[in-house]
Amino acid sequence: MTPCIVIIDDETITLKQLRRILEKEGYQVSTFSNPRRALEHIEKESCHVVISDIRMPSMSGMTLMTLVKARCPGTEVILITGYASLDGAIEATREGAFYYLEKPFTPDQVRERVRQALEQSLIKEHSTSSIPRWPRNAGGPVIIGESVKIREIVSTIRQIGPTECNVLITGDSGSGKELAARAIHGTSLRRKGPFVAFNCSALTEPLMDNELFGHEKGAFTGADNRSKGFLETADTGTLFLDEIGEMPPSMQAKLLRVLQEGELIRVGGNRPVPIDVRIVSATAVNMKEAVNQGVFRKDLYFRINVVNIKLPGLSELKQDIPLLSYHILNRLNGRRGTQVNAISEKAMALLCDYAFPGNVRELENILERAAALCKHETIRVCDLPPDLIELELQTYKIPDEHLLTLSELEQDYIAHLLKITGGVRTRTAEILGIDRASLWRKMKKYSLS
Amino acid sequence: MFRNILLLFENDNILAEALVYVRELAIRTDAAVTLLILVPMSFTGHTLIGPRRSLVQDIEIRMGKCLSESLQPFIQSGIEVNSALKIGDPAEELMKFLADHPPFQSLVWGSDRQLPDSGRKPGRHWISKVLGNLECSLLTVSKRGLE
């Protein structure tokens, strides 16, 4: 799709000049000297970027911008003026202008600003229209991202969803393991059945036994009625076992029996209860290591790990951060009633630069805070947490070994030979297989005495 | 509580920015924080701790004070916080500490002593010995340069 740009100015020369610059870039350009005509056009055709003069006889650029934003919130507006002032620029950007361009401008300036505005506009468009790529009628949640890694994950989930195999999802805390599990359930043939999530690290062993397997009446003091456990509740559906690596050994044995036999025995009971449940597990720990150390049963590991999905951390999905951020903002607007619909370029650059050790959960928290504090429709740098603005976070890597260049190697070797020959040049030249004059030239080159 | 953050210090070199960052990260992710001070000391050739007992005691007093001061901002912010002091070979002590504790989701370097950068030869700092064996990546904090 060719990006559409609308230019409005009462000076015909400026219109022609801008049209020429932008058409060369391959954009679809429409020019208007009358702002009202331009508005009618934008309403009918919609566009990605509007470039408008501030001072026009029939309507000011600021009013035009307000009307454009009201009709098409995703459209970015660049204001141009021959009477630039700091106050004017501040006011324009506060009202939602993408940029305040001062006349006379160079073609490069125009190209660069339009390119940036287009990027922002396309991000907004993606966040509102093209994000729900997940088949909603299938009941699956939305997995956001355009990066190769996310596309691969989505493709794997779509492929394995309708099968009955057990899945192990691995990934750091906050990387969206439960979301992926829900997506698997949503694309499976069990999607009309229940999806039950259970955290294996949150309870003590007896409590976990009771919660997972249920109990019979009179199984223990206070067990007045028969109770179904999470496994039975998830019958004909999917049971999501989070933090499965933390499951105690006795529970592992009982779960293995459920997977092998398709039946369970409630606490205090002796009659097997048949169940039909698909297990999707998740963990942040290295399960292979846990198996090797004997902490986790090997047979259970193979049962739950028929397919493994590894979720990347947000620091590996930098290109998806803008898309994710706008998706989270849209959700916040719906849930909290906020009216924040944009993130300034600088604020977005800060977010993209951050390492996100807390992954998507941390991004959500940062945006929720920013949306709550934000006094305008756009999240700006000042709305982000101070530590993000003032501090720089880096993942420490072992520095690469310093590799020598050929001349550095030659210099070191000559110095080494001079040392072991006691500075005797004839002997050094002999070992090197060169004549004394060549050695002398090299010594001079490398400042070796 | 599903997140644990480990803030590592070498001696009493404490970077204020790291404390600020970890506190904010803990609030954002609802995490518990553990502060660990590693004091490098060699016991090679000493079969008994006797000759070094007073030195170890001095270190414990000094580092205890340091830890106590560093814990305050976390306690005031209502964050669950623990602390520990280990004296010996820092690489070994760190691995032993990690083995004895539930997994940490974030490891942050909290000392103002700079880790080796790309301009220096690797292997000079003990952290490079264990970096490959850590359960998650090590993060370093620095003040953002003025633009």
B30 conformational bin, left if phi > 0, alpha if psi -120 to 50, beta if neither: left
The per-residue pLDDT for B18 is: 92
Q: What confidence tier does B19 reach under pLDDT thresholds 50, 70, 90?
A: very high
Residue B95 to chain A, least CA–CA distance (Å): 15
Looking at the complex, report in whole angstroms how far the Cα of residue B57 sits from the nearest Cα belonging to chain A. 33
| Dist. CA B17–CA A399, nearest whole Å | 23
Token pair 């009659």 is found at: A271
Nearest to B118 among A172, A362, A400 (CB): A400
* All structural domains of chain A: 4-130 (3.40.50.2300), 147-310 (3.40.50.300), 335-390 (1.10.8.60), 406-445 (1.10.10.60)
At B65, give phi and psi (nearest 5°).
Answer: -65, -45
The whole-number pLDDT of residue A131 equals: 38
Q: Which residue has the higher pLDDT, A26 or A308?
A: A308
Distances in Å between the Cα of A338 and the Cα atoms of A249, A369, A372, B43 are 47, 11, 8, 61
Tell me which residues of chain B have a C-beta less than 8 Å from any C-beta of chain A. 2-3, 5, 17, 20-21, 24-25, 28-29, 31, 103, 105-106, 109, 115-122, 127-128, 131-132, 135-145
With contact defined as beta carbons under 8 Å apart, do A201 and A243 qualify?
yes
* CA angle at A141 for the pair A135 and A142, rounded to the nearest 5°: 75
CB contact under 8 A, B143 and A392: yes
Q: What is the pLDDT of residue B116?
A: 60
Closest by CA to B32, choosing from B69, B7, B13, B62, is: B7
Q: A106 CA to chain B: closest CA distance, Å?
A: 25
Instruction: Determine which helix (DSSP H) or strand (DSSP E) holds A4, and give its type and residue range.
Output: strand A4-8
Segment A330-337 mean pLDDT:
81
Helix (H, G, I), strand (E, B) or coil at B145: coil
Residue B146 in domain: no
User: Which residues on chain B are in Cβ contact (under 8 Å) with A365?
Assistant: 28-29
**pLDDT at A124 > cutoff 70:** no
Name the nearest CA neighbour of A208 among A152, A171, A255.
A255
Is B134 part of a structural domain of the chain?
yes
Residues A147, A141: Cα–Cα separation, whole Å: 18
Residues in chain B closer than 8 A to A394 (CB atoms):
139-140, 142
Chain A residue with CA closest to B26: the answer is A358
How confident is the model at residue B11, as a pLDDT?
A: 85
Which CATH number belongs to the domain containing residue B22 in this structure?
3.40.50.620
Q: How far apart are CA A179 and CA A172, in angstroms?
A: 13
* B84 within a domain of the structure (yes/no): yes
Neighbours of A233 (CB within 10 A): 17
Flag if B2 and A243 touch (Cβ within 8 Å): yes
Rounded to the nearest 10 degrees, what angle do helices A425-432 and A406-420 cross at? Answer: 130
Asked whether residue B147 is domain-assigned, the answer is: no
ipTM of this complex prediction, to 2 decimal places:
0.81
Are the Cβ atoms of A396 and B106 closer than 8 angstroms? no
Please check whether residue A166 is in contact with residue A153, taking contact to mean a CB–CB distance below 8 angstroms: no
Does the pLDDT of residue A402 top 60, yes or no? Answer: no
Query: Based on the structure, what is the number of domains in chain B?
Result: 1
Answer yes or no: is B145 within a domain. no
Q: Is the per-residue pLDDT at A337 higher than 60? A: yes
Task: For A56-163, list the strands marked E by DSSP.
Answer: 76-81, 99-102
In the structure encoding, which two tokens stand for residue B26, read together?
A: 């803990």
Q: For B105, which of A173, A366, A399 is closest by C-beta distance?
A: A173
Domain range enclosing B49: 4-140
Residue B132 or residue A323, greater confidence: A323
Residue A289: closest CA among chain B residues belongs to which residue?
B135
Has residue B38 been placed in a domain? yes
Decide if pLDDT at A278 tops 90.
yes
- Largest Cα–Cα separation, chain A: 103
Question: What value does the mean pLDDT take over residues A208-228?
Answer: 85
Residue B98 resides in a domain: yes
CA atoms within 13 A on the CB side of A78: 27
* Inter-chain Cβ pairs, chain A and chain B, closer than 8 A: 95
